[in-house]
Chain A
Amino acid sequence: MAVKGKSADHQWVDDHAGPVVRPYAVTGGRARPVTGTFDLISLVTATRRDVSPEPGLGPEHLAIVGLCQRMQSVAEIAAHLDLPVGTVRVLLGDLVARNLVQIREPHRAVGVSDHSIFEAVIHGLRAL
Chain B
Amino acid sequence: MDYGHSERPSEAAILPTAIKILVAGGFGAGKTTLVGAVSETRPLRTEEVLTESGVGIDDISGVEAKRTTTVAMDFGRITISDDLVLYLFGTPGQDRFWFVWDELALGAIGAVVLADTRRLADCFPSIDYFEERDTPFLVAVNCFEGARQYRLDEVQAALNLDPEVPVLLCDARRRESAKEVLISLVEHALKLREARRRVG
Contact = CB atoms under 8 A, between A and B. Distances in A.
6 contacts: A13-B52, A18-B47, A23-B66, A75-B46, A85-B49, A117-B1
Contact of A120 (B60, B66, B84, B106): B84
A86 B48 contact: yes
B58 A32 contact: yes
A125 B80 contact: yes
B64 A75 contact: no
A18 B194 CA distance: 41
Interface of B: 1, 11-12, 15-20, 27, 38, 41, 44-50, 52, 57-58, 60, 63-64, 66-72, 75, 77-78, 80-81, 84-87, 89, 93-94, 103-104, 106-107, 109, 179, 182-183, 186-187, 189-190, 193-194, 197
B68 A121 contact: no
Chain A, interface residues (CB within 8 Å), range: 35 or more
A84 B68 CA distance: 10
Interface in A8-45: 13, 16-21, 23-24, 29-32, 39-41, 43, 45
Given A117-B84, A125-B186, A107 B69 contact: no
In the complex, the 7 A-B pairs of residues with the closest C-beta atoms, listed nearest first:
A124-B80, A79-B44, A106-B18, A86-B49, A107-B17, A118-B190, A84-B49
Contacts, number: 153
Contact of A112 (B49, B66, B87, B193): B193
Nearest to A110: B107
Contacts of A122: 183, 186-187, 190
A67 to B, nearest CB: 13
Given A17-B70, A29-B63, A41-B18, 17 more contacts: A17-B50, A18-B47, A18-B71, A21-B68, A24-B68, A75-B44, A76-B75, A85-B46, A106-B16, A106-B17, A107-B16, A108-B18, A109-B17, A117-B84, A120-B80, A124-B81, A124-B84
